[in-house]
Chains A and B, each alone.
Chain A
Amino acid sequence: MAASTPTPTAEPLDTYTLNMGPQHPSTHGVLRLKLTLRGERLVAVEPVIGYSHRAHEKMAENRSYAQFLPNTSRQDYLSGMIYNFAWVEAVEKLAGIAVPERALVARVILAEFNRISSHLLWIGAFLLDLGAATPFLYTFDDREAIVFLLESVTGSRLTYCTGRFGGLAKDLDADFPRRARAVVVKLKARWPELVDLIEDNVIFLQRTRGVGVITLEQCRTWGVTGPMLRACGVPYDIRKVEPYGAYPRFRFDIPTRPEGDVFARYMVRILEMAQSVRIIEQALEALPEGPILAEGSIGVKKRLKPPVGTQYYAVESARGAYGILIVSEGGTEPYRAKFRTPSYANLAVMQDVMPGTMVADAVAILGSTDIVLPEIDR
C-alpha cells in the first residue's frame, strides 16, 4: 500500500536516535532517554518520564493527613525517612502542633542516618555504572549496618513511616545510642579504605574529571539543588538557609566544590557523609529525655482539621531541596498537595548539559545526578 510507505524526511541522515532505557541498568528505575547522536556525540537528549507515576498528589486529596503518611516514603525510597518527616513537619506547621524536644533531636538522628545510607547506595551504584563492582560490595556492607539500625527503631528497612504529627511513633530504646555509635565507628573505619579504592583510581578520575560540567546559569534556569548545585560551588542547603527542626543547634559545614563536573558531585557527597556523622554525634550527645509524642495530641486516629491556608515547607533531602505545598480548605483531607521533588529539576537539566558530550559519558553524567525515578514521577 502506498500510504504505508515511509515518507523521506528533509532531515540529514547524519544524525540518528538511540533509546537508552526504559530497561537500561544505569537509568535507576524506569527512565527512557531519547538520545539524538551524530557519530558518537550527543546532539539532543530528551528524558521520557512517567513510567512509575502513581498519582501521589491525587491520593493525598482522597485521604486524611494521617492516612497519607505511608505514601510519603514511597516517593523517594532511598531517603524515605526524610520525606516522611517532611510531610509530618509540614502538617505540624499548618496545624500549629508542638513537638517535644526529644522527638526533634531523634528525627535529626534518623534523617541523617538515612542520608548517609542513601549516599552510600549511590556511590555503589554509580561506580557500578562506571564498571567498578568492588565498591558496591563495600558500600552495601556499610549501608546494611545503617538499615539494620533504622529497622530496629522503625520496623522497616526502606519505606519508613515512623513520623507522627507531634513526634514519633515509637521511642528510641535505651540501647539505641550505643548501637548508633557502633555504626558510626564502623563507617569511619571503612571510609579511608573506600577513598583509597576509588579516588586513587586513574580510570575513575579520567571518566569523571571535567565531564558533564554544569554552569551556574543552567542551575538557575532549571532549578538544580542539592549536591549537584553544591558541586558548582554554591553553598545552598535548606538545613542552613531555612533551618528547620533541631538543625540550628548543631554545628556542621556545607561542603562545596568549584568544578561542577561529575567528580565534584562525587566528592561533595563523600564530604557530606562526614558532616552527617558530625551531626549524629552531636545529636546523640544532646538527645534529651522526655516524651517522644506530644501530650494528648495526636496519634493517627485523631481527625486533624488544619485551618484554611496554603503552606509551603522545604527540607533538604539526600538529593536536594524537597518542597511540600499543602492547600487546606479546613477539611480533614488536603484540598491539594504538591511535591516539589529535587530529582525532577536535576534530571531536566540534562537536556541542557548532555548535548555536546560523548555517548560514553552519558552513563557517567546521568549516574552522577543520583536520580530516583519514583520521586520524579510521583
Chain B
Amino acid sequence: MTPFRLWVYLQTTPLFWLTATLAAFLVADALAKAAGRRPIVNHVLIAIALLGGLLKLTGTDYQTYFNGAQFVHFLLGPATVALGVPIYADFALVRRNVWPLAAALLIGATVAIASAVLVAKAFGAPRAILIALAPKSITAGVAMAVTEALGGAPPLTAVLVIATCILGAVIVTPLMDALGVTDYAARGFAVGLASHGIGTARAFAVDPVAGVFAGLAMGLNAIVTPAVIPALLPWLIG
C-alpha cells in the first residue's frame, strides 16, 4: 500500500481521529500540568488548538474528523446526567442556605445571560453569536446542548464557555479581595455560577468551603440556565 492509499484508508475509519483526539488531550494535559495548572493554560483549549492545526495541516474537513471523534462526543450525554450525583450529594448545603442560594442563583443566572447578550448586541454581533454566547456561564456539555436546541453553533459556545471559565478564575480573587468579601460560601457560589469548571477548581484552591459552594453553584446553574434561556433569549434578541 502506498503512503497515500494508506492515508486514504485511515481517513475512512474512526480509529485515526479518535486516537488523535486522545493523544492531543494527553499532550495538552501534560503542558497544563507543566505550567502548574494556571487557569490561563487551559488543557481543553490547547487540545482544540492542536487538533484544529492538525486538520488544517492535513487538509481534513471537520466532518471526517468528527466521524472518528463522535465516540468521545457521545459520552457527553451520560456525563451530563452523571452531574446529578455530586449535585444530589451537595443537597444538605442547599437545605441550610436555601434562600440566599435560590435568590443568588436566579438573579445571578439571569445577569450572566442578559449582560453578555446585551453587550454583544450593542456591538452589533449577529444572531448566531448571541445564541452561542447566552449559555456561556454553564458547564460546556450542557451549554452546547442548549445552543444546539436553539439552532445555534455548539462549537462557538464551547470556546466561549472555556474563555469565560478562564476569565472568572483569573478575576475572582482580586475582585473579591478588593471588595472585602470574606464570606467564602458567597465567594465560591459566585465564581461557580459565573464560570463553572475552572472557577470551581480555583475556589477549591482558595478555600474548601468556597470550593463546595462553587461546585454547588455550577451544578444548580446547569439546571437553571437551560430553563431560563428559552424564555429570556427571544426577549433579549428581539
Q: Do A and B bind each other?
A: no
* A contacts, CB < 8 Å to B: none
* B contacts, CB < 8 Å to A: none
